[in-house]
Amino acid sequence: MVGDPLLPSPHLRRRRRVERVVRRGLALTASISVVVTVAIALSLLRPAIDFFREIPIGEFFTGTEWSPLFSPSQRQFGVWPLLTGTLLVMGIAILVAVPFGLGAAVYLSQYASPRVRGIIKPVLEILAGIPTVVLGFFALYFVNPEIVQRFWPVGRVGTFSALAAGLVIGIAILPTMASLAEDAMTAVPVSLRDGAIALGATRREVSTKVIFPAALSGIVAAIVLALSRAIGETTIALMAAGSNPRFTADPGQGVQTMASFIGFAGIGDQPTGSTGYKTIFAVGTLLFLITFFLNMLSVRIVRRFREAYE
């Protein structure tokens, strides 16, 4: 009876049970990220909805003055200064991270000898591991006084500037950008590269005409991820861009970003339930929506530009 091959193994039920437990356990771990995301959205949403009961949504999205933490007769709830401040800092960061990140990626994947690669890669990883608070100090005490204040051609630069914050945020996201783009480029089938070289293409031609188009979806995804990180970066903006929400496009001025406003307001003590407290959630929701939208966009772009070779 034991040896009858047509009957189920005596351990089958137990093995099935184990299988079921493992499957459920793994499903649980996978669902946690979904649960947490939904929970964050919900926890942001309730105070944000309360906020818009008090402050007209039109005032929030059309106003160009932002001073929500002052006394009721003085406060203004126009979010534009925070939006332009965020865009300004993000724009500068992207101008640093994209060209340098892509350049590094092309060099590492196409040109660098294994020895050089063995040096540059770990250094990039070290850069990625520097805490943002250290980079914030670097922006405030080195980049701004030694570089921005000295070389910025238009007008006078104060202690805090969007430029210093943007440059250093660019440095902070550079390793992510470089390493994701490099992954995308190395993932291009070797046969394509070898074929192009066999046809007499130079390395530059291989990079720009073969590798780059083939890796485009991965590169775009890397750029969008870097954008999201630049928008959400709090500590560096809080330390180096100041706390005055100016409605300006001048990188030499100090600005406040959405993330640094949240950090700033969180440091002071806003009584729970006050308008100032709800403002934090309203700005948080807006930030969440913007990054959410960017991530959706990146998913669509990746789908659209993917080139399948198999």
Partner 1 sequence: MRKQRWVTFVVALTALAIVAAACGGDDGGASDLSGTIKIDGSSTVTPLVALAAEDFQAENSGVKVTVGTSGTGGGFEKFCNGETDFSMASRPIKDVEVAACQAKSIEPLELIVANDGLSVVVNPQNTWAKCLTVEQLKKIWEPGSKVTNWNQVDPSFPNQELTLFGAGSDSGTFDYFTDEINGEEGATRTDYNPSEDDNVTVTGVAGDLGALGYFGLSYLLENATKIRGVEIDGGGGCVAAGTDTVQAGTYKPLGRPLFIYTKTDAAKRPEVKAFAQYYFDNQNAITEEALFVPLTDEQVAEAQAELDKIAAV
**Tokens (6 digits) for 26:** 């793994």
The correct pick among 91, 127, 158, 290 for binding partner 1 (CB under 8 A) is: 158
- Binding range to partner 1, per CB under 8 A, among 74-82, 96-104, 178-186, 205-213: 74-82
CA end-to-end span of the chain, whole Å? 50
- Binding range to partner 1, per CB under 8 A, among 9-17, 44-52, 68-76, 217-225: 68-76
Q: State in angstroms the smallest separation of the CB of 242 from partner 1.
A: 5
59 touches partner 1 (CB under 8 A): no
Task: Tell me the CA distances in angstroms from 247 to 41, 92, 259, one per residue in order.
Answer: 28, 16, 16
The binding track of 216-245 with respect to partner 1, each residue x by CB under 8 A or -, is --------------------------xxx-
Nearer to partner 1, 138 or 212 (CB): 138
**Tokens (6 digits) for 189:** 């089938």
159 touches partner 1 (CB under 8 A): yes
Nearer to partner 1, 67 or 295 (CB): 67
Q: What long-range pairs does 125-134 form, CB within 8 A, spacing at least 24?
A: 125/175, 125/179, 127/171, 127/174, 127/175, 128/175, 128/176, 128/179, 130/172, 132/172, 132/233, 132/234, 132/235, 132/236, 133/235, 133/239
Does residue 235 contact residue 138 with C-beta atoms inside 8 Å? no
153 touches partner 1 (CB under 8 A): no
Sequence-separated (6 or more) residues with CB below 8 Å from residue 33: none
Q: State in angstroms the smallest separation of the CB of 107 from partner 1.
A: 37
Count residues near partner 1 (CB under 8 A).
27
Query: Rg for the chain (alpha carbons), in Å?
Result: 25
CB burial of residue 300 (10 Å; 0-12, 13-18, 19+): exposed
The interface with partner 1 within residues 247-306 (CB under 8 A) comprises: 254, 267-270
Which residue in this structure is represented by tokens 């929970």?
39
The correct pick among 51, 60, 77, 160 for binding partner 1 (CB under 8 A) is: 160
3-state secondary structure of 192: helix
Nearer to partner 1, 106 or 148 (CB): 148
d(CA 243, CA 154): 22
Nearer to partner 1, 134 or 297 (CB): 134
The correct pick among 50, 76, 110, 225 for binding partner 1 (CB under 8 A) is: 76
Residues near partner 1 (CB under 8 A) are: 65, 67, 69-71, 73-76, 140, 144-145, 149, 155-156, 158-160, 242-244, 246, 254, 267-270
